[in-house]
Amino acid sequence: MKSDCIQTTICQERKKDPIEMFHSGQLVKVCAPMVRYSKLAFRTLVRKYSCDLCYTPMIVAADFVKSIKARDSEFTTNQGDCPLIVQFAANDARLLSDAARIVSPYANGIDINCGCPQRWAMAEGYGACLINKPELVRDMVTQVRNQVENPGFSVSIKIRIHDDLKRTVDLCRKAEATGVSWITVHGRTVEERHQPVHYDSIKIIKENMSIPVIANGDIRSLKEAENVWQITGTDGVMVARGLLANPAMFAGYEETPLKCIWDWVDIALELGTPYMCFHQHLMYMMEKITSRQEKRVFNALSSTSAIIDYLTDHYGI
């Protein structure tokens, strides 16, 4: 958390409280936690294009609490970055509550990652292995509730589903009883990667919950988002790769408009985004609007000035 940002980052827009948004009856459009990608600059961009709620990338709570360097590099925000949820990977209730207390003045809530299927995360006791540890999830939620004084601070979880959906419903009911604010459901099991998303399972989970539920998985356009929202009966939809490819997706654009590309250039330069991240986002955004030959040229560019020259020469804006 860089000191030059902290002084102005306390969120003033409590009217944008996520819980109120979920109870509005409108589709709540959410930017997913994406490692390396859903940082401040990208969150700023998608907010310009009708994204209602943004998550930070997953942050390892233990490192965040123990290392000032980790805090400075992993969490940067500003006054316009609201509403904001900070997602943590954790397996220890005390460390998670300490991390939550640190970010609580600068965010609307925290989310516990109970869905990451990557081997390293599960080996550390993070991510999707937590869907088999409802007692630990309960302890982490309870500890955060006890440690963070702000009663409006949300504590949510993001999960994958079990092969036996009854276990998932049981997990969600226990989480709800513990005081979880809402649950995001990625409609695949831990083993599934590119298989179809089980939207029917998300619907069943939603029907068994009184708290808000967000649907997640393979949503690539506003029309798909609205369809999933209707099919599942959920309170919002969360998008990851669809927003990387088209940050203006929630505003109804079928592919990234040129204005969005130049908005990204302006935002990234203003916020000092590292070159690798700046370039990578543009490669995602331009995937559908450039030819194979253009991709080869653009992807080989090695400086910010070369990128700006390329965009100016080819798109004349």
- Of 116, 129, 172, 260, which residue is the catalytic one? 116
Total-model pTM: 0.94
Which 8-state DSSP code applies to residue 54? Answer: E
Q: What is the pLDDT of residue 18?
A: 94
Question: Class assignment of domain 18-247?
Answer: alpha beta
241 in a known ligand binding site: yes
For the chain, state the CA radius of gyration: 19
238 in a known ligand binding site: no
240 in a known ligand binding site: yes
7 in a known ligand binding site: no
82, 108 Cβ separation under 8 angstroms:
yes
pLDDT tens across 78-114, in order? 999 999 999 999 999 999 999 999 999 999 999 999 9
75, 3 Cβ separation under 8 angstroms:
no
280 in a known ligand binding site: no
Confidence of residue 301 (pLDDT cuts 50, 70, 90): very high
Domain boundaries, the chain: 18-247, 258-315
pLDDT tens across 56-86, in order? 999 999 999 999 988 998 999 999 999 999 9
Is residue 116 part of the annotated active site? The answer reads yes
186 in a known ligand binding site: yes
94 in a known ligand binding site: no
CA dihedral sign of residues 77, 13, 104, 236: negative
Greatest C-alpha distance within the chain: 58
